[in-house]
Amino acid sequence: MKTLLSTLVLLVTISVFSQQENKGLTILVNQLGFKPNSEKRAFISDSEERNFKIINNSNQEIVFKGEISSPKYWEPSGTNVGIADFSSIQKPGKYSIVVGNSSKTITIDNSVYEALGTKSLEAFYLARASEPVLEKYAGIYARPLGHPDNIVFIHASAATDKRPEGTTIFSPRGWYDAGDYNKYIVNSGITVHTLLQLYELFPEYCKTLKLKIPENSNQVPDLLDETLVNLRWMLTMQDPNDGGVYHKLTSKYFCGMVMPEDDKLERFVVMKSTAATLDFAAVMAKANRIFFKMDPNFANSCLVASKNAWNWAQKNPNVLYVQPKDISTGEYGDNKIEDEKYWAAIELYLSTKNADYLNDLPTNLKITTPTWSQVESLGAFSLIASTDKVPDSKIKDKIELVKQNLLKTADQLCQANQVSPFRISMNSFSWGSNSDLANQSLLLLHAYKISGDKKYLKTAEDCLHYILGSNPLNMCFVTSFGENSPKHIHDRRSSADKIETPIPGLLVGGPTTAARSDCGESNYKSNFPALSYLDMECSYSTNEIAINWNAPLAFLVNAINTINQ
């Protein structure tokens, strides 16, 4: 912790969280507020009260009275939850919801998510490697250049005749992956795709999106400028001699909780893997299409790199990443490569119109919530965004099947939402549970884009409401937003910068029982999965941040901002 005061505040916070379990009326609501035309609910936990009222704060008039729905037990949190629905209120303003002797302030306004939309993207600027983060754009979070990555060693696992062990390469730029300072191709794959997909689905909105980054005065949309930072790093991770892509750039072990400029550990590129190479191929093929009109030379270099990576993967179809004994940083190991192959094949087809890439694509492509290790849905998203650009009628028929499969999966999420007392589509809490919910929203928003059916949009918005406070922890899981947000995240920059508030706009992983030994089992005061969360720096299992978690948050928030304008 940064100071003794922080520690004392933290202990009080933990005590409040532990006492909240099953004890007393709590009003749980999105702490940022609601769009005027959105559905609006507060969740009332463990209360015998059956009525609520909404008061207009400007004149103290009661503008709505309603009944709280019969409480339902939610097994993941062990709480009984009723719903206070006030969706009929659409006039912008500040209101209070009153239940018994308890109340909470509610904002209704079309701009409630605007700051979150930009901050969730500007967080990527604050994660840049190999350049200073400037006060003009970062304010108090400015810092000197860290990790120039101009001398990166070839690890023994990555050595070839032309690049033997101990030789060096130049691999600057990119984003720090999470709470550490390493850079991983597999995790960069889904992250960059998600941001490029946001642009592909909502180009006009993204062209007007202004971010506090050094490139914001050029002719390239700011969102794309930010993705270029990581794309250019990714290109340095390809071996030009054979097309294979290194799995990660890393120190041999995690550095201490220091600022980037103070981490002096040697850095290495570690073995090539099929998963990393196919993820790279997919992202570069997509980048080719996005940047073709803006920068044809860069776009063409991306397509050449993509094809070379694909060819390497064809010759090396099952090179699984195995962590070398002298490396102990993030693994991102993946034992199933078919989904990466499908994704890369789809992106290359869309960029080349060569149907041979789709020869092995199954007729009935499986659609699941995307994660870094489960990426076939990313290819499906790209197909959906590019249907009108596909010349082959047989391929269009395949796309229609993909759309139907996506809608079936989205329907399952909507059904789960309807039976959940907290109106969310998730009922399990794996590592990064908040990102699972955010990625479910991506699938739902694509279903809405296909069908125009607002049930998908509403279910996606419910995902956001949960993340921003409508959850049993009464927590807005995004740093520096809402009245109760994470203060002690597992992030080396926020730990070492001597600033009390963490870097803003970061989504923490959220509740899970996956690794409660990180802070010691006894510190986790609840065994309920949805309550198994600690706002402690040591809690890398629940309170770390990551680029692949912030990307779907940014997608969700900005998509809702443009859809509900």
Query: Could you give the residue numbers annotated as active site?
Result: 535, 544
Neighbouring CB atoms inside 10 A of 266's CB total 9
> What tokens were used for 91?
């006039």
Q: Are 342 and 379 in contact, with CB atoms under 8 Å apart?
A: yes
* Axis-axis angle for helices 433-451, 547-563 (nearest 10): 40
Q: Is the dihedral of CA 102, 107, 108, 114 positive or negative?
A: negative
Q: 53 — phi, psi (to 5°)?
A: -140, 155
Find the radius of gyration of the CA atoms of the chain.
Answer: 24
Q: Are 230 and 189 in contact, with CB atoms under 8 Å apart?
A: no
Q: What are the residues facing 56 on neighbouring strands?
A: 61, 95
Q: How far is CA 267 from CA 125, 247, 252, 270, 491, in A?
A: 22, 13, 7, 10, 19
> What tokens were used for 384?
């959906």
Cite the DSSP H helix spans in 468-502.
Answer: 492-496
- The residue written with tokens 């054979």 in the block is 242
- 109-124 CB burial, b ≥16 within 10 A, e <16: beebbeebbbbbbbbb
CA 53 – CA 86 distance, rounded (Å): 9
Compute CA 163 distance to the chain's CA centroid, rounded to the nearest angstrom. 35
The pairing of beta strand 79-85 with beta strand 72-74: antiparallel
Amino acid at 335: N
Q: How far is CA 258 from CA 86, 262, 489, in A?
A: 47, 6, 14
Q: How far is CA 257 from CA 253, 397, 516, in A?
A: 13, 53, 20
Q: Are 190 and 347 in contact, with CB atoms under 8 Å apart?
A: no
Neighbouring CB atoms inside 10 A of 158's CB total 22
Helix, coil or strand: residue 274: helix
- Helices (runs of H) and strands (runs of E) counted in the chain: 15, 13
> What tokens were used for 522?
């006894």
